Structure 1
């Protein structure tokens, strides 16, 4: 069970995973060794899934991004798992969400240009017999990057 110190550590690490342990400890109100032990425990128990550098896709040579709404022929567990596994292996696919509603999957896809996106759709989506259809929305501008979430209940309704 996470306590207030753990939640504060997680909130601060979401903002800056490279914060020094003494600075983190001071902001949380713990000693550096106690803060280090808690941060290590949070990693070990999976509360911190991983730590990554957020690099804009354009910096890596992928200037075009799309949101792709995928509808499957059938929404069966085995079919969903198979396509999700294939999508996880596709380097263009940054995120995959299995969702409710009119579509089954939502993809966040990057491409060098529209020709490379077209090649991706033929290689991955058109080639899959379980994909009924998909809709592409080209991202004009990213207005907010995935970021830190405060602890639930800390925001007034």
Structure 2
């Protein structure tokens, strides 16, 4: 994927505000509004822009707790790895899921309303899965920095 300096400006502006006006982006990049529209369409088609989302406060909608969960699988066959990936993707309380190296196979960031809610989540994700060898949980004390921004220079 060939990202031009103008594309970087577009990406930076949209990353800060996905609803930025095309006219404002055109002014910043020195491009026409039509060119900006075409570039954005191409950046989406090429996968540089993956999605546009609203960042919602978990507490505002009743999720008072955040957890980091490290999951170790019993067997690491590709079909079993894919099965766990599908299960994590399908679980609404799992915000992020990473297949990792090291002591664990997966790292999850998950939300829960309270400890009872988290316990129910662990039953769905881990205890009912015979391929989950063990999992370790850390409770997030404070969400110091939250985001998915990519440094664009």
Between the aligned partners of 2:56 and 2:19, the Cα distance in structure 1 is 15
After superposition, where does 1:60-139 map in structure 2 within 5 Å?
Answer: 60-139=61-140
Gaps of 5+ in 2: none
Between the aligned partners of 2:109 and 2:101, the Cα distance in structure 1 is 17
Between the aligned partners of 2:83 and 2:148, the Cα distance in structure 1 is 29
Equivalent residues of 1:95, 1:109 under 8 A apart: yes
Equivalent residues of 1:11, 1:148 under 8 A apart: no
Equivalent residues of 1:72, 1:132 under 8 A apart: yes
Between the aligned partners of 2:5 and 2:77, the Cα distance in structure 1 is 40
TM-score where L is the length of structure 1? 0.92
Between the aligned partners of 1:150 and 1:108, the Cα distance in structure 2 is 21
Alignment correspondent of 2:151:
150
Runs of 4+ in structure 1 over 6 Å off: none
- Cα distance, 1:121 vs. partner? 0.6
Gaps of 5+ in 1: none
Between the aligned partners of 2:113 and 2:58, the Cα distance in structure 1 is 9
Alignment correspondent of 2:38:
37
- Cα distance, 1:147 vs. partner? 4.0
Between the aligned partners of 2:142 and 2:46, the Cα distance in structure 1 is 36
Alignment correspondent of 2:55:
54
Between the aligned partners of 2:75 and 2:125, the Cα distance in structure 1 is 17
Between the aligned partners of 1:39 and 1:150, the Cα distance in structure 2 is 18
Between the aligned partners of 1:69 and 1:29, the Cα distance in structure 2 is 47
Paired residue total:
152
Between the aligned partners of 1:101 and 1:8, the Cα distance in structure 2 is 36
